[in-house]
Amino acid sequence: MRLNPFNTGDINVRSSSGGGVGKAGGLGCGTIIIAALGYFVFGLDPFQTAATVESVQQGTQASGPANTNEQEICTSSQYAREACDGLTSLNRTWARVFEEQGLGDRFQQPTLDLYSGAVRTACGSGNSSMGPFYCPGDQTIYIDTSFYDQLARMAGNSGDFARYYVLAHEYGHHIQTITGISGQIRSQQQRVSRGQANQLSVRMELQADCYAGVWAGKNRNLIEPGDIEEGMEAAAAIGDDRLTQGRVSAENFTHGTSAQRSQALRTGLRGDDKACDEYTIVR
């Protein structure tokens, strides 16, 4: 995807340094699966499960002071530059969407933390083995870019659009937060059974996938041949059915199947954010 270069004036980026987690042997798909199983089967916090597993394997250290020199962070690696280019495009695209809908005053940019190993967040301790995540408490997207190497192995490709899709998906959770959708869904989850709460989680994740597609659809002139296929493969690679490898029943899924995630991304590619409303019961 041919994105314009990042502009540090248009993004909020920092980098938190952690311990050795994810450094010696990569992320480890096994840890991701263990964390998923712990949540699906026992209801354990995936933040804590992943951190515990990696602590036993390698020894987790707390994150150090964050680097806030955006130029330095964004030029530190190819992955970092891509993330900053993507964040610049996402900010501009969604700011324009909000303006067009007369909601410009509600738009807020998220922060992107390209952390290393482990990190403290307003949602608890984060760990690279969890993969990228968004914390609504501090409106920050957390990515350890070593995940992208794992994603390439899982999805079977190393294209840049797969990485942009991951960032755009987490940005979709930010859109849910600032529009109030996330808060409404979380409130509903507290009043229903666990199975119903899981289904609400699936809806949230599929809508975030759809929002990722909206961003791409509104920048279709920048998409190159093969990009869409890369995105579909990435979405399929992180479906609940693929990650849990048949060990968990469908009623315990929280992110959606590979087919559902690919279809949600495809729906968003039409470029109409209103089409993503179908993935939540909030109107």
Say what the pLDDT of residue 219 is: 92
In this model, does residue 126 exceed pLDDT 80?
yes
Q: Which of 54-68, 71-85, 141-155 has the lowest mean pLDDT?
A: 54-68
Compute the distance between CA of residue 260 and CA of residue 171 in angstroms, rounded to an integer.
Answer: 19
Which whole number is the average pLDDT over 246-267? 78
In degrees and rounded to multiples of 5, residue 12 shows phi and psi of -115, 110
In this model, does residue 164 exceed pLDDT 80?
yes
Which whole number is the average pLDDT over 11-35? 55
Supply 32's token pair. 């991701």
Asked if 268 and 213 count as a contact pair (C-beta separation under 8 A), the reply is yes
**Contacts of residue 208, Cβ cutoff 8 Å, sequence gap at least 6:** 169, 170, 172, 173, 175, 176
**Which is more confidently placed, 174 or 19?**
174
Domain spans, the chain: 13-279
Question: How many degrees, rounded to 5, is the angle at CA 125 between CA 120 and CA 130?
Answer: 115
> What are 181-200's pLDDT values in tens digits?
999 998 988 898 888 888 88
